[in-house]
Amino acid sequence: MKTTVVLISGLLLLSFSLRAQEEACVVKSKDIKGVYTGACVNGKANGIGKSVGTDQYEGEFKDGYPDGKGTYIWKDGHYFVGNYKMGNKEGKGDMYYESVTGADSVITGYWKKDKYIGEYEKQFVVVATSNSMTKVDCRLVDTKGDNINITIHQMASASSIGTTLPIPYVTDVSYVMGTFNNKVDQKLPNTNITRIQQVVYPFKAFIYLSNGENTQILFNAKGNYEVTINIQ
């Protein structure tokens, strides 16, 4: 009997300790406020924990907010597995939900400040450039097309003022990922433009110029792009 009483007393103390931790440890995201169990530092959820309110979250916390890797489950049952920063979805993750047809669906990609930004973290990446390319700008114009316009400008130097310099042009587009169907060149008075048509994305290619310079660009997202290359 004495052993039983001691055991019950120990369980009661453990239960009281957990309740005290739940009550004292603050979770700041309002929809998961309720019952918290887990690591607590300076009165706030910090480290690995679980908080159950209207919704629930289990994973890493920082200063009372979901921060790091975790799983968030909404009251309707759909859930997100991925990265958080100060209570917002941030970085790579997977959103699981039930579609209008009743089938299970998933959205995989990247989030920024709680908003989905697409399948890729960056729409494009300028991987490398040769020495004389002073600047390579890339811009996604729209997401409905499949063309890349490359515009080349020759930047005048102090030694070349008053002289006419030949403007470099694209001699070759060598792709290592994806494909394209056609390349059209257009020469204007101070600019050369090359249009790469019917691109299949993701598209990664070396762009070679007539003056021996080159750049490598990765285009992740589908669309029409404008690329501007300035040559010294």
Over residues 125-162, the pLDDT tens digits come to 999 999 878 889 999 999 899 999 999 988 765 444 45
pLDDT of residue 223: 95
- Region for residue 62 given its phi and psi (left: phi exceeds 0; alpha: psi -120 to 50; beta: otherwise): beta
Q: Give CA separation, 15 vs 10, 50, 53, 98, 185, in Å.
A: 9, 17, 20, 37, 76
- Look up residue 31 and give its amino acid: D
Distance from C-alpha of 60 to C-alpha of 129, rounded to nearest angstrom: 40
Quick check: 66 pLDDT over 80?
A: yes
Please determine, looking at this structure, whether the domain spanning 23-118 carries the CATH number 2.40.128: no
Listed in sequence order, the residues at least 6 apart from 68 whose beta carbon sits closer than 8 Å to its beta carbon are 59, 60, 61, 62, 83, 84
User: How much is the pTM?
Assistant: 0.66
For the chain, give every domain's residue range. Answer: 23-118, 124-231
Nearest to 56 by CA among 82, 38, 83, 29: 29
- The mean per-residue pLDDT over the stretch 29-45 comes to 96
Query: Which has the closest alpha carbon to 201: 134, 118, 130, 129?
Result: 118
Tell me what pLDDT residue 166 has. Answer: 81
pLDDT value at 209 more than 90: yes
Per-residue tokens: 212 = 């021996």
Look at residue 156 in the predicted model and tell me its pLDDT: 64
- Which amino acid is located at 108 in the chain? T
Query: Quick one: how far is CA 8 from the chain centroid?
Result: 51
Give the model's pLDDT for residue 169: 93
DSSP state of 26: B
Residue 180 CA to its chain's centroid (Å)? 26
Mean pLDDT of the chain: 86
